[in-house]
A and B are shown apart, each in its own frame.
Chain A
Amino acid sequence: MAAQLTPDEKQEALFQRWLSPKDGQGNDLKFQSPEAAKLYKERITRIKDAIQMKKQPDRVPVLLAPSFFPVFHSGMTPRDVLYDYDKLQAAFKKFTLEFDADAHIGATAPGSGKVYDILDYKLYSWPGHGVAPEHSYQCNEGEYMKADEYDALIQDPSGYFSNVYLPRVFGALAPLQMLPFLPGILEIYGVGFNFIPFGIPPVQAAYKALMQAGEEALKWAGALGAVSGELASRGYPEFWAGFSKAPFDVIGDTLRGTKGIMLDIYRQPKKLLDALEAFVPLMIKLGLGAAQINGRPIVFMPLHKGADGFLSDEQYEKFYWPTLRKVMLGLIEEGCIPNPAAEGGYNSRLSVIKDLPKGKTLWMFDTTDMAKAKAAMGDTACIMGNVPSTLLNLGTPKEVKEYSKKLIDVAGKGGGFILSNGAFFDQAKPDNIKAVVQAAKEHGAYK
């Protein structure tokens, strides 16, 4: 048996895999030129140095994290790329090559409209299905998990998802409510009875939908893999391995909804806390699984309901932070680099979230004051983000460059900083996006 690796060794192993990309067949990826191979390694090293904070990178790395901007920039609508994977590939490839940041975030964001159609997805409205073809998808908030279902969730999260939650959020999977209780298939006596549901026509129809959705998802994933492979061969690494979430957001975003979870804080705090704990190992597994499959360390974690103004300090420290911290520490233990993205403001949380090991996390901030963030987190974690959507949309390239340079001076001092936008953006002036990248290249060198 191989000796147990330390967290640092596990992280290094993931970086090494990231640095040695494979093609679709599992062979070493052929770079399109020696220059591309060199750039690929330089870019990852630059990002690695910024995150680990052991030494300054050669310059401030720059990342662009768009939502549908690449699509609009290619003259397409969001609906186009949800249904036509060639267009999806073209738009995201063009974006990465044209704007030339240090990494790209892949073409995963839009997802496959065909999969949503097959499954009759209720949780979101997507372009051409509930929202206009030229708009981004949006979440339909609701109480998809009822107030009295905490025990069911806590006792058997997977069973709750397969028999209760998924049948609610996917119309085509509604019959899966009739699935048997799998731990009942214990011995010969349990076999016959427990397979009855699989013979019922609606359940069989749900399985057919699952198979169709799976086939479609494979086509979509093939398109994503091709984009990522080609961009890697041209020297651009893909930034994130996958994603995970804060347990509070898992419950507050798409299970109980904002209203539900806020009421539970008062009406059933103990059950809420138990459920949050129950999600800790699941969220570690989610992020780690993606890191291991994709061979990259950085795990994206969009943070929502712990922002300034949502919860009091006391509520944040009781309900939000402890389990988020546990998920992050669990990921770090396995060599991953959690990359929480604090949407909105996080000024009131800075003194709390710095309670993490140094150089193991990467914090993306949206509207948080970056001088304060640097002052609070500078000894702990690499920070990134904050170039505002409004500025990218309505400002001039000169203003964007000035803003970015100031960020580099303030937040980039001494290393531990990646220049990037603060929130995922749909609309922006292309010259403003270029100005962000230029600022890093012209002004970001460490001497």
Chain B
Amino acid sequence: MSNKLVTAIADMREEEALRLVRKMVAEGTAPVGIMDAAREAMGIVGDRYEKGTYFLPELIMAGEMLGQITQIIKPELAKMPEVKRQGKVLIGTVKGDIHDIGKSIVSFMLDVNGFDVRDLGVDVAPQKFVEAIRDFRPQVIGLSGFLTLAFDAMKDTIEAIKAAGLRDGVKIMIGGGQISEQIKDYAGADAYGRDAMAGVSLAKKWLGK
């Protein structure tokens, strides 16, 4: 049944996927098995997004299905073992900018690629990034911004990270609407990623995966 679940999620058949999950729970399937199937399906969704057969609707649907499945098996979830993650990425939309979609796609893609992602949300002040670096200890930081005001906000954020003495320990990538290779130099980042896949490749490259 877990194969059926993988296919149902990956092919965007929401009702069938949820029906299968409820059935599996009722029949006593371990939540870890359900989560493994869901994760496998997310991997397929990520692959299809990379290959250009899936787009925003499918990523959002996949996220929705995953959220609902987690809700259904929540009571059992606490008993699950931690999944081993391949590195930590801190991500957020910089101060003054409240655009969420692009950043959330990058978060999603990093997550399905096995990274431990902490998403700080939107309009994140430089100091908040600094505090989160101290607390979360990421190897990679992703700064997102859609507007031209993000150019300076990214620069300010990276300067704050530098001032806190944390710059050497992290790799910083930037991306979003009006961001380009030119802004990378202006803001003092390590790389610019054109899309979510580029973000994943950068994180993988930096972590030697």
Asked whether B71 is an interface residue with its Cβ less than 8 Å from the other chain, the reply is: no
Q: A138-B98, A389-B148 are in contact. List 6 more A-B contacts (CB 8 A).
A: A138-B147, A258-B56, A262-B57, A266-B14, A267-B14, A391-B182
A141 to B100, CA, bound (A): 9
Q: Which residue from B54, B98, B100, B178 sits with its C-beta under 8 Å from A423?
A: B178
Q: Are A263 and B183 in contact (CB-based, < 8 A)?
A: no
Asked whether A292 is an interface residue with its Cβ less than 8 Å from the other chain, the reply is: no
Q: Which residue from B14, B54, B101 sits with its C-beta under 8 Å from A258?
A: B101
Q: Which residue from A138, A315, A344, A425 sits with its C-beta under 8 Å from B57?
A: A315
Asked whether B61 is an interface residue with its Cβ less than 8 Å from the other chain, the reply is: yes
List chain A positions with a Cβ less than 8 A from chain B. Answer: 125, 131-132, 135-136, 138, 140-141, 258-259, 262-263, 265-267, 309-312, 315, 344, 388-391, 393-395, 423, 425-427
For this complex, 12 residue pairs linking A to B, each with C-beta atoms less than 8 Å apart, are A131-B96, A136-B147, A138-B99, A138-B147, A262-B61, A263-B60, A266-B12, A266-B14, A266-B57, A311-B56, A312-B53, A423-B177
How many A-B Cβ pairs are below 8 Å? 74
Nearest-neighbor residue (CB-CB) of B185 within chain A: A394
A393 to B96, CA, bound (A): 18
- Which B residues are in CB contact (< 8 Å) with A125? 98
Query: Which B144-195 residues have C-beta < 8 A from chain A?
Result: 147-149, 151-152, 177-180, 182-183, 186, 195
State the majority secondary structure of interface residues on B: loop
List chain B positions with a Cβ less than 8 A from chain A. Answer: 12, 14, 53-57, 60-61, 64, 96-101, 147-149, 151-152, 177-180, 182-183, 186, 195
A393 to B180, CA, bound (A): 12
A266 to B13, CA, bound (A): 9
The distance from the CB of A333 to the nearest CB of chain B, in whole angstroms, is 32
- Which B residues are in CB contact (< 8 Å) with A262? 56-57, 60-61
Q: Are B54 and A312 in contact (CB-based, < 8 A)?
A: yes
Q: Are A390 and B178 in contact (CB-based, < 8 A)?
A: yes
- Which B residues are in CB contact (< 8 Å) with A309? 55-56, 195
Name the residue among A140, A258, A390 with the largest chain B CB count within 10 angstroms: A390
- Which B residues are in CB contact (< 8 Å) with A132? 96
- Which A residues are in CB contact (< 8 Å) with B183? 390, 394
A395 to B109, CA, bound (A): 32
